[in-house]
Amino acid sequence: MLEFLCNLDGNILLFLQDNVRNPVLTPILRLITTLGNGGAVWIVLAVLLLCIPKTRKVGCMAVMALLGTLLVNNMILKNLVARTRPYEVIEGLTYIVMRPTDFSFPSGHAGCSFAVACIMFRRLPRRYGIPALVLAILISLSRLYVGVHYPSDVLFGVISGILISYGAEMLVSRLWKRRYIEETEASGADSGEE
């Protein structure tokens, strides 16, 4: 069963390379995949959310989600699983972006993209949440197109990102509530002393 899944992973990448890659899509998907390098676009969005008082809580959730994916996916799972990049294993597969230096599983691009996009989708108006999800999907799929991840790497990155987004949301909500209670109690004590 595992061998079948590994072969399927490789065959999907070869199919994309041979039948989907083309001179029109390639520069677009290279640009899209670059947006996810180091979580760049998601870090910028998180900082913007932090700067606006109305969305500061969502910004904190996004930052927590980014830290969660960095820890879980990039620092723990990548080194624990130590999966070789597909272009090093699959004969005939070529990569068309700068060669990644870390391991393949799971996709860090997919993980951080879905971690932040899911929070934005759940917490912000749809006019912001839907484009964030679309961008997360495009960044994740671009990793297959450019040949640097197996489909299972991306799928697990998506799943982990979604789960981490819920964890970050729950943690920040609890901390935010605790802070509100402490501030309310402090202001009540101050008014009682007067």
State the DSSP string of 159-185: HHHHHHHHHHHHHHHHHHHHHHHHHHH
The three-point CA angle 40-41-47 to 5° equals 90
Classify residue 72 as left (phi > 0), alpha (psi -120 to 50) or beta.
Answer: alpha
Q: Name, in order, each residue with C-beta under 8 angstroms of 111's C-beta and a sequence gap of 6 or more.
A: 69, 72, 73, 74, 157, 158, 160, 161, 164
- Which CA distances in Å does 150 have to 47, 59, 76, 123, 172? 31, 31, 19, 31, 33
Question: How high is the pLDDT of residue 193?
Answer: 47
Domain 42-184 indexed as CATH 1.20.144.10? yes
Question: How high is the pLDDT of residue 186?
Answer: 60
Residue closest to 73 by CA, chosen among 110, 40, 36, 29? 110
Question: How high is the pLDDT of residue 70?
Answer: 94
Q: Which residues of the chain have pLDDT under 70?
A: 1-6, 180-194
| Residue 12, token pair as written in the block | 């999907």
Question: How high is the pLDDT of residue 7?
Answer: 77
Question: How high is the pLDDT of residue 99?
Answer: 87
Q: Which residue has the tokens 């990793």?
A: 143
Query: DSSP state, 24?
Result: T
Question: How high is the pLDDT of residue 4?
Answer: 64
Give CA–CA dist 84/103, Å, rounded.
Answer: 6
CB count, 10 Å around CB of 83?
17
Give CA–CA dist 45/27, Å, rounded.
Answer: 23
